[in-house]
Structure formats: structure tokens, C-alpha cells
Structure 1
Amino acid sequence: MSSFAQADTISNPNSIEKIPYYEQLFRFRVNRVIDLGEKQNAGLNSRKSSIAKLIIDLLTEGKLHTYGGNIGDPADFKEAVADTTALKMGDNFVRSETQGDWDPKRDYLAGDKIIFEGNVFRARNNVTGAPANPTPPASAALYEDLGPMTLTLSSQNIIGLELIEDVIFDKRRSRLYYDILAFGVVLEQQTSMEKMATRFYISYKELSKEVSRLAHSKDINERQRVMWQNRYNPSEGKTFLDAFKLRLFHGVIRKVENPDDYTIQQIFDANGRSYTESVFARWEEEMNLMEKEHNLWEY
């Protein structure tokens, strides 16, 4: 290849649909949040197969790469993040999962986690507070030592996925495409207005390659890892890729591409509007996109 050769930019290199730019009559980048605890999304997060667990397993195996969202659009993958960094939770998150620093005068219930000198301990039984109570390291019968205050991200910490997609109307084929580009791993964060935060992003193109590989494995257990569980007909086997292609999930719009790069919540916050109003605005934006599609059909 010539030293002057450049990468092909006729279409988005991170896209699966590969719709050429000159064929796109209409395109908007949309961010949606898929709540994995929602009943409609149970097929993505069942006991037999969980997309959250699959992502963590593939990251641990080195099959996926993680990206941040501080440089440009997250779905452009300009900010590479080390997988080990992405999977290691910060001290603030660990602290939020505990009852805070150990206090000898405080009562604790069995199962409560507390912090003492940088280590996390779990109460084995109910503990009654008293000034003379021994420290957790000195009372192994009362407290289980869980080790240093570090935590590796697990699928149990993931409450949802932030789906980033390009909504494209292909003027040559006269149809609308939902071109999924990236997934963001969403964790609970009580300090934010939305009660959640995106930890890192992965490429949907990379994920789809691994899902396809596992779906064609000779090992039934490997194939089971990527199966979307059909509530009404379990024998109808569909992979996670099929489920996203067929839109067998529910995701609430979080952001529609705009010059300020504001989420709907941020737009309402900046104008002193309530969180409740922003919730209705998300559904209104969904209707606007549907109306836009309807108008394009008349083109």
C-alpha cells in the first residue's frame, strides 16, 4: 500500500451497517439507556445468559477493549482506557457499598459492610454498639475480613447499558436503519440526578464479532452464553445480536445529538426545570423521531 494511502471514509468505520455517507438522507446519533432490571429487558439479563456477564467475561479474556467518553463522542472511540483500569472500581464506589468507617458505638446488622484502616469487613451477626467494643481485626467471630478496599467490577454492579446508535434514513433503499455503534456500561450512582453513571464504553462491532463466534461454537454451553431468552417461546433461539436487530428491548432516550452535547436531563437542569419534566421530554423526543420517520416516507 502506498505511504499516501488513507483509510476508507466512505462510511463509518465503526458501523456494522456500512451505509455510505452519500446515501444518508437523514442521520441523528441517539443515546438510550437500557435498564437491565426492567421486565421488558429480562431476556438480556436472565439466569441462563446475561449480556452484562458476557461483557465482563470477554473483557477479562481480553476479547474486548474499553474506551472513555471525555474526548469527542464516545462512539468514535478516541479515548482508549486500559481494561484493568476500567474493571477496577474506585474507592468512592466501594465506600458507597458499605456503612462507612467503623464506629464502635454504632449498631450493625448481620451482612453490613464497614471500613477499618483501609480494609472492608462484613458483620457476621448483629452487633450492638458500645465504647469498649474491640476493633474488627481483633474480633474475627463478629466480623469477616473481606480484604483491602478494592473491588473488581462484576456483572452484579451493572444496572444497565447505554446504547449509542445512528438513526439513519437510507435514501437509496428508502428505509430507516438503527446502526448500533457502542455500549456504555451503566452503574448506580446515588449522587447524580439520574442515579446512574456510565463507567466505560465498548465497541458494538467488536462485541458482535465475539457473539457471532460463540453462537457458532460446537459447545452448547458457549452458545448458551449469547442467547436472548424468549419469555413466550424459549425454543425460538435468538442471539443477543438478533434481539438488538429486531429491537426486542426497551431503551429510554437519554440524548439526541446536539451542538452543546447536552443530555435531555442537562438541558432541563440548565433551564431550572424539574426532573419530572425531563422524563416526559424523553418520551416526547421518541415521538419526534417517529414523526420524522413518517415525514421522510413522504419524501
Structure 2
Amino acid sequence: MMQIKRFITHSLGASMVALCVSSSLFAQESDGYNANSIRPIHESDQLYKTRVWRRMDLEEKQNKPFFSTNREITQVMINAVMNGTLYPYTSDSLNERMSKEQFIENLTIPADGPALSEDEIAMGFGQQEEAQEDDGWGGGWGDDSSSSSGQGAEGTAVESSASTSEASASTNNLFYATDVTILEIMEDIIFDKSRGRQYYDIQSVTMILPPEMFPLTGLQKPVATFKYMDLMRVFEENPEIAVWVNPYNDAKHLNLKHAFDLRLFNAHIVKYSNPEDEYIIDKTGGDRRSALMESLNYEYNLLEREHELWEY
């Protein structure tokens, strides 16, 4: 009888331990908070949530402070990836990291440029580099380092030029940070019922090369996606260059993190959650004017919904 009681007691104890462990693991896996949010809101406090994608054109006047000379936000992002302090991702799902080699490949200028016509070739287009290399005057005009090196031994000159080309190949074939003029922002619009306020919870930022960089195809090219929380950390760690430049008051420049918190950027909605996972431009059959009107209408409906919740 005593052995049966001990067996039952031992079994119950083991079951309780297993139940506690499993419940703690379940709580860690689904604690109700978004791991990619800087200021997460528990799902039980969310009255509604809508995910939208916004297109931020860095060449727009309102966005110029994010894209000031020598302080471009894209340059900060590229430098952080190159020195290993920022991890890129393959998509805004943020599930798969992108290798540094793939990131560099996405920034590499394609070798197939637009073909020249016979008239353009006859006029001398595309032959500028050959003329500079062999123009019969010992290199370029004026003080040129290649002409001075050419006065030495022939083998030395060839070796130095080869090493220079290898060293600069990785940078000369890449797009500049000023060429990346589009940022796509994915964010959740959440109304917190416990605080009675609507929040904009940015999840990721994607760098995109505009269609102007690819005249043959006319298609934009995503470079990489970054976690918003990782970007904010990088901006805080680089206060000298991660600067939102105030065009009206030099004493009131801001860190890019604070500029995003204050939503000083302009970015219109290009996509919202839908079963087909389509962009607005796809829903309008490629009509850009209709897509813009649909985007503005959706934005106004979001504001109206927040206003109506305050009414009640």
C-alpha cells in the first residue's frame, strides 16, 4: 500500500513539473508581444491592427533632411552593413538573413548597359577611356600619377596598375548611396484600447534602387531589408553622421532615430494587408493616378476610423 502511495505521489510530482515546464515554454513562445517592435503592445490590448507599406522618396523636399549631403541615411545603413554592425535580411518577413556578399552583389552596377547605336559609336561615344589610356601623349593631360609611374620599369608600372584595379573593383562597380533614393517602410497601425490611442509600429525598412538606375528594364530593385529596431540602434551609435538636418535652424538638428519617432518623413501608402497580397498599383491595373487617389483615400479612412473611436 505504501509503495502504491509513493508511486502515485512520484507520478503526480513529475506531471506537475512537466506541466510547469511546458507552460513556461509556451509562455515564452507566445507571450503576446511582437519581438520586432520597439514599443510592443500586448495583443490583448489591441482593438485593431492594420499593416501597411509606405514608399519614402528621399528626393522629395520634406525628406531631404534625411538625405543631406555626406549624411545620407542610406550611407549610414550601407556603412553599418560593411563594418558588420547591421544585419540585412532578404525580405520584410525578417526570417532569413542576407549575406554580406549578396548585399554587395545587390549594390553592384549591372554589366549590361544600354547598347550604343552606330551613329553614336561613329561620334566617339564609349571610347573616352581608350583615348585617355593611349592618346600618344604619355597618359592624361596635366599632372597624372599614371604618367609618373610609367617613367619607371615597365613591370613595376603594370603591377601597380593591376593592384590598384583589384583594390578599387569592389567599390568602383557599386551604386553610390545617393543612388538609393527609395525606402519602403512596413509598419503596423495599432489602436491600443487600454491607453485609448493609435500607434504606428514600424517593423522594417527596405532600401530600393529606383527604376531610373535600370533604363533597360525600368524596374526597381530591392537591395536589402533591415529590422527597424536594429536601425534605431545604429542611428544612436552614430550621432555624428546619423543626422536629420533641420533646414531652418542649425541649432536644432536631430538624430535620425528621433526624426522617425516624430514621423518627420513623408511616405504614402503603396500597399495594405489584403488576401491577394497586391500593391495598390496592381489593384488599379497599373493606373498611377488611380493608385495615388486610392492611397490617399485609404489614409483618410484610417484617420476617420481613429476619430470615430474617440467619438464613442
Alignment of 1:146-295 (within 5 A): 151-189=173-211, 190=214, 196-214=220-238, 223-269=239-285, 274-295=287-308
Query: How big is each residue's C-alpha offset from its partner over 1:215-274, in whole Å with a ceiling of 9 and x where there is no partner?
Result: xxxxxxxx22111111122211311111111110100111011111111011122xxx62
Larger Rg: 2
CA distance in 1, matches of 2:306, 2:118: 59
Contact 1:35 1:251 in 2 (8 A): yes
> Does 1:80 pair with 2:117?
no
CA distance in 1, matches of 2:107, 2:131: 23
Q: 2:84 aligns with which of 62, 65, 80?
A: 62
- Identify the structure with the greater helix proportion: 2
Question: Could you tell me how far 1:197 is from its partner in structure 2?
Answer: 3.3
Q: 1:251 to 1:105 in 2, by over 3 A?
A: closer
1:89 is matched with 106
Contact 2:114 2:215 in 1 (8 A): no
Counterpart amino acid of 1:260? E
2:309 is matched with 296
Q: 1:14 aligns with which of 2, 25, 36?
A: 36
CA distance in 2, matches of 1:186, 1:274: 21
Counterpart amino acid of 2:292? V
Counterpart amino acid of 1:236? K
Contact 1:161 1:186 in 2 (8 A): yes
Contact 1:158 1:188 in 2 (8 A): yes
CA distance in 1, matches of 2:216, 2:256: 30
Question: Could you tell me how far 1:151 is from its partner in structure 2?
Answer: 2.9
Q: 1:277 to 1:184 in 2, by over 3 A?
A: same
Contact 1:89 1:153 in 2 (8 A): no
Query: What is the root-mean-square deviation in Å for CA atoms of aligned residues?
Result: 3.4
CA distance in 2, matches of 1:56, 1:252: 24
Counterpart amino acid of 2:64? A
Contact 1:108 1:123 in 2 (8 A): no
TM-score, structure 2 as length reference: 0.72
Alignment length, in residue pairs?
A: 260
Counterpart amino acid of 2:115? G
2:115 is matched with 100
SS in 2 for 1:13: coil
Question: Could you tell me how far 1:87 is from its partner in structure 2?
Answer: 2.1
Query: How big is each residue's C-alpha offset from its partner over 1:21-43, in whole Å with a ceiling of 9 and x where there is no partner?
Result: 11111111111111111111011
TM-score, structure 1 as length reference: 0.75
CA distance in 2, matches of 1:169, 1:233: 34
- Identify the structure with the greater strand proportion: 1
CA distance in 2, matches of 1:90, 1:180: 24
Gaps of 5+ in 2: 1-20, 141-160
Question: Could you tell me how far 1:154 is from its partner in structure 2?
Answer: 3.2
CA distance in 1, matches of 2:131, 2:46: 64
Question: Could you tell me how far 1:177 is from its partner in structure 2?
Answer: 0.7
Q: Whose relative contact order is higher, 1 or 2, with alpha carbons under 8 Å and at least 6 apart?
A: 2
Percent sequence identity is 26
> Does 1:26 pair with 2:48?
yes
CA distance in 2, matches of 1:208, 1:43: 17
1:217 is matched with none
Gaps of 5+ in 1: 115-121, 125-135, 215-222
Q: 1:181 to 1:24 in 2, by over 3 A?
A: same
Q: Which moved more, 1:225-234 or 1:35-44?
A: 225-234
SS in 2 for 1:235: helix
